[in-house]
Amino acid sequence: SGKHAGTLSVTISSCPSHLATMALFAALCAFAAPVAAAALKSDAARGELDVSGSQLERAVDSEPKGRHLIFTSAGDNSGLLENWVGPNANYDIFLVYYGKNDTRYAMYERACRWTTRVTGSKLQNLNAQLYQKRMDIFLKSDYVFVLDDDFMFDNGVKDINKMFEYSRKYNLKISMPSVDASRSVLSHFVTAHQNSNNITLAYTNFLEVNSMLFTQQALRNFLEKYDPSIIGFGGDYLAFCANGYYAERDYAVIHEVVAVNPRVRKATGKRELHKLKDWDKRAEVWHNYAKEIGCKPVYGKLVYSVVRNLDGVEQEDTCVHKDMCQAPWCFDFKKIDPPSECEDTFAKALGVEDYQPSHPQLFVNGTLADRWWTRVRDAVKLEYGA
């Protein structure tokens, strides 16, 4: 069908009905195989699909394992091969390589089910290489985990499997793993891992663009509003604009999964983001686009409730912000001026041993101080909104 359509004429009028069916099936198979192979090779020639050896055979079947897909745009300095790949993975990986190292790309080809080579940001490539060019894969993916290639999980494949499992179990439109504040760039407290209180997940109104796990429909909603000018900053806000701001059970941080969002690349000491054109203007670009399409450019972050596992029994606790010293996961920085006696609770929740800021340093007039992350010694943010 479509651009690879052909014609077939089969005469079977003299055959008994069951033989006629068999003859038709055989003829269709004989016709379809070379057409499919030619289509795949044509795609490869245009750069839409890289195929070699067994990958050509695997590409004919476009359903990812478990109907779970990871999408990433990767360079030469990613540790994903050691962290995301393993025999027990209940998912497949669609990887877009933006580097120039043939040896590195060959390693990605061997490890990932679908690969292609093209420059661009993760979101640009998600739209162009998966949604626009490989709708066959998209439509057979119930869930798509859109990950930065340097986002690493404490338990590797086991944690990624758990992300898909929990997204199904709790019927989440979008989710993300919790982020270890002591080892990571941390832009938003609602995503910080809670190392105590037996929290399984926290329902929230915001998740970060670096590690969003979408249902197929939620991702479609997002990509239908997406514009390629958005290279990263604003992508998270756009996802909620596209799927609804106020649902209290659709979005969650999975605290039983802990991940690290590194501050810089260990190999280079730099951020891959800086390789992209106009990376330093991405906030301005997002604000202008948000205004154009009627989205909120930014908004306050909330945790609505948490699900806790107490001796094997799940309990959901609704956030009551006046009791936030007892429930630090409920902090609403846009509305509450925390008393100084909450600091120990705040530090314990983050799991940062040498947590330093005092109340006047971290908060100004009841809201987070500008560039608040620079005031937390173990969670220094190099730049906002990557």
Q: What are the domain boundaries of the chain?
A: 59-263+280-303, 337-385
Residue 259: name the closest of 176, 354, 348 by CA. 176
pTM, 2 dp:
0.73
Specify the 3-state DSSP secondary structure of 12. coil
Tens-digit pLDDT string for the chain (386 aa): 333 333 333 333 333 444 444 555 455 445 444 544 454 444 444 444 444 444 444 445 899 999 999 999 999 989 999 999 999 999 999 999 999 999 999 999 999 999 999 998 899 999 999 999 999 999 999 999 999 999 999 999 999 999 999 999 999 999 999 998 778 877 777 888 876 678 999 999 999 999 999 999 999 999 999 999 998 789 999 999 999 998 999 999 999 999 999 876 455 444 455 454 555 576 889 999 999 999 999 888 888 999 999 888 999 988 875 565 666 667 654 444 555 556 666 555 555 444 444 434 444 444 444 444 444 433 333 332 32
Q: So what's the pLDDT on residue 350?
A: 53
Q: How far apart are CA 114 and CA 56, in angstroms?
A: 10
Q: Answer whether 271's CB lies under 8 Å from 264's CB.
A: yes
Place domain 59-263+280-303 in its CATH homologous superfamily: Spore Coat Polysaccharide Biosynthesis Protein SpsA; Chain A (3.90.550.10)
Q: How far apart are CA 219 and CA 41, in angstroms?
A: 28
Q: So what's the pLDDT on residue 326?
A: 62
Q: So what's the pLDDT on residue 360?
A: 43
Q: 258 - beta bridge partners?
A: 178
What is the helix (H) or strand (E) element at residue 176, kind and residue range? strand 174-179
Q: So what's the pLDDT on residue 162?
A: 98
C-alpha to C-alpha distances, 264 to 185, 220, 238, 267, 380, nearest whole angstrom:
9, 31, 25, 9, 11
Q: So what's the pLDDT on residue 218?
A: 98
Q: So what's the pLDDT on residue 197?
A: 73
What is the helix (H) or strand (E) element at residue 372, kind and residue range? none
Q: So what's the pLDDT on residue 76?
A: 92
CA angle (169 as vertex; 167, 175 as ends), nearest 5: 20
Q: How far apart are CA 201 and CA 251, in angstroms?
A: 10
Q: Answer whether 255's CB lies under 8 Å from 202's CB.
A: yes
Q: Which structure tokens are listed for 119?
A: 């420059």
Q: Answer whether 92's CB lies under 8 Å from 64's CB.
A: yes
Residue 76: name the closest of 52, 55, 104, 57 by CA. 104
Q: So what's the pLDDT on residue 198?
A: 85
